[in-house]
Structure 1
């Protein structure tokens, strides 16, 4: 995996699926609070006036010269839980983000959140 500080440099770059189809533009990086490693990105999708941010996991992602390639297809990502452009992921919605991709979700021992925006 690549360091979060390097991935932040990719803000605004396109995010593509395994087939090279553009999902959207990278907006923000979310790290796993237990490891401080990049875990998800938010991707800006939609049309003028109707944009939203979807969550896409970084596990298995690779960086190309002009894009970040994730291992999830565009259709699955497009159906992912989303927030408004100026919104934030609330704690009660975190499990839904993980479940959408079939990923296990375990909060911290004290009920801490798993994702933090960097």
Structure 2
């Protein structure tokens, strides 16, 4: 990476991958011992940023406060882990070179880092010589894995899969109305009543009566009680509409898709699953 700014500019930068996705903010900057040029940066990845991942700057571009690297975020997160101990050992640097497919054409390189993100350029740097190509490669298994990793960035594909995200939405299912209407019933009540009747009463007359013999009328008024119906309206009950929530469980089914890969034109292709038990090309 051709860089003409200050180390502080890099330390304030943000790293984005080849697709424009944010990888994270720069944590540390590493320099070469001979030219003091920036060679690596670290970003915090993993759950809650608990892992510091190294990214080479050889093919990166820097613009303003953004460092763009030619790798995808998932590829960067799978890079070999290097402890934050102040320097990169020769073996660790060689492993990182192999993983990213970056050629170490700088001869003997070294790395250094200050203890403060904002003051790296003004602090002393610990240095360690870079390893030479082929250090601790060891077995055929390691060499095969190195070649696979080196080709992932340039000639690889990213696999995707669909994951079911289930939620709920509220829909109107109906309306309820409260109305009242009149119902007529027949009510029967026993009411005690009184009436007058004519009773013929006789009793013997006493003494002499100077009356005359002839016709005579006597009139008696009779009366009786009759039921009288009156009605009054009284309140009997207050009724209103309310709502309550009832919890239930429904089972939903849907189709999800995922991507797989086939290798065409290559016989006896080996996958990572052949070497480390993971089902991955």
TM-score, normalising length: structure 2: 0.35
Residues 14-61 of structure 1: CA deviation (Å, up to 9, x unaligned): 20012111112211111233432211111121222x612111111232
Whether the 8 Å CA contact 2:40–2:56 is kept in 1: the answer is yes
**Matched ranges for 1:64-103 at <5 A:** 64-84=63-83, 86-88=84-86, 89-103=88-102
Q: How big is the shift at 1:8?
A: 3.0
Bigger mean CA deviation after superposition, 13-22 or 63-72 = 63-72
Q: How big is the shift at 1:71?
A: 1.7
Runs of 5+ unmatched residues, structure 1? 109-113
Q: How big is the shift at 1:98?
A: 0.6
Q: Structure 2 vs 1, CA of residues 103 and 61 (structure 1 numbering), >3 Å: closer, same or farther?
A: closer
Q: Structure 2 vs 1, CA of residues 104 and 83 (structure 1 numbering), >3 Å: closer, same or farther?
A: same
- For 1:105 and 1:64, the matched residues in 2 are separated by 24
Q: Answer 1 or 2: higher relative contact order, Cα 8 Å, separation at least 6.
A: 1
Whether the 8 Å CA contact 1:28–1:117 is kept in 2: the answer is no
Residues 57-107 of structure 1: CA deviation (Å, up to 9, x unaligned): 1123222334211122212211112234x4343332111011111123476
Whether the 8 Å CA contact 1:98–1:105 is kept in 2: the answer is yes
Q: Secondary structure at the match of 1:33?
A: coil
Higher strand fraction (1 or 2): 1
Q: How many residues align?
A: 110
1:2 paired to 2:3? yes
Q: Secondary structure at the match of 1:19?
A: coil
**Matched ranges for 1:30-41 at <5 A:** 30-41=30-41
Runs of 5+ unmatched residues, structure 2? 114-281
Q: Which has the larger radius of gyration?
A: 2
- For 1:27 and 1:76, the matched residues in 2 are separated by 18
Q: CA-atom RMSD, angstroms?
A: 2.4
- For 2:12 and 2:82, the matched residues in 1 are separated by 17
